[in-house]
Amino acid sequence: MNNISLKITNPEKHIQAQNINANNNLSDKQKRKLEKASRDFESLMTSMLLKSMTKTTEGGLFGEGGYGGDVLDTIFEGELSSYMTRSQSMGIADMIYQKLTGEKLPNANLSMKPLSRPGKIEIKKNDSEVPSIAPSGNAMKRLGKYDSVIKDAAAEFGVSENLIRSIILTESAAKEKAVSKVKAKGLMQLMDGTAREMGVANSFDPKSNIFGGTKYIAAMLRKFDGDVEKSLAAYNAGPRNVEKYDGIPPFKETQNYVTRVLGYLNHFEEY
């Protein structure tokens, strides 16, 4: 496929929609779809800009002689454009979203959200009954070492202390050096990419890990309007999968994960 040269003198001119009135009666689900479409469009525009810039670099970003360099260029451009759209948006997605909804585009970069001291997030549980699960004595002993950190993180991000405890028990059994088969790390099992987004430099540092994990679950709770099952599923499988299936994805691991966290949560709430 031939490279596409992109020249933009006035980005706003290309997205000035005619005869589109802001619709204030859209459902949350419709708005999320429009949000995704707006961001995807900006990501595509960013990718095209990066392709034009890459053409000026002899041999591409990874060099002409490197094996698979053309494939790596494509992957890197896609990932970089997606990251740029999430973190340092050009404003195109926001303009499109405002044209269609009359509202400002929600901030996608979770690490940039003003989550400090927001007030406690109200958790909404669904009708499904999950039996309580009592943690082992050893796990509770390990968990007890982090009580003060959990309290601070809960106050900072408005998340229930018991929910944080339940996630830690499910993720790592409160083992601060835990590493999963997919390289998730620490008490709340942060992937490296998520840790970076949450501002966590060392996932094996208990305080950093708990604050990073709490910040992320807080963002998921806000994204899914306090629905704890969807938020936990997003913590485990990613928010896109939850949006795709409009609920807990049909993944056995995720379903078991949500059930286990809720089981611990019910146990703590009984005492």
pLDDT tens-place string over residues 1-28: 455 444 445 544 444 444 445 556 777 6
Give the residue from 52, 86, 108 where a domain finishes: 108
Residues 171 and 205 in one domain: yes
Give the chain's mean pLDDT: 77
Q: What is the crossing angle of helices 252-270 and 161-172, to 10°? A: 130
C-alpha 157/C-alpha 115 separation (Å) is 6
Assigned domain for 5 exists: no
Q: Identify whether residues 219 and 236 lie together within a single domain.
A: yes
Predicted pLDDT of residue 13: 47
Concerning whether 12 is annotated as a catalytic residue, the answer is no
DSSP 185: B
Name the pTM for this structure: 0.58
> Is there a single domain that holds both residue 41 and residue 134?
no
What are the pLDDT digits (tens) for 171-189?
999 999 999 999 999 999 9
My answer on whether 70 and 98 are in the same domain is: yes
Total domains, the chain: 2
- The catalytically annotated residue of 77, 171, 197, 229 is 171
C-alpha torsion sign, points 48, 53, 58, 59:
negative
From 122, 110, 124, 91, select the one nearest 196 (Cα to Cα): 110
Specify the 3-state DSSP secondary structure of 157: helix
Looking at the structure, do residues 127 and 42 belong to the same domain, yes or no? no
Rounded mean pLDDT, 245-267? 94
Residue 161, domain extent: 115-270
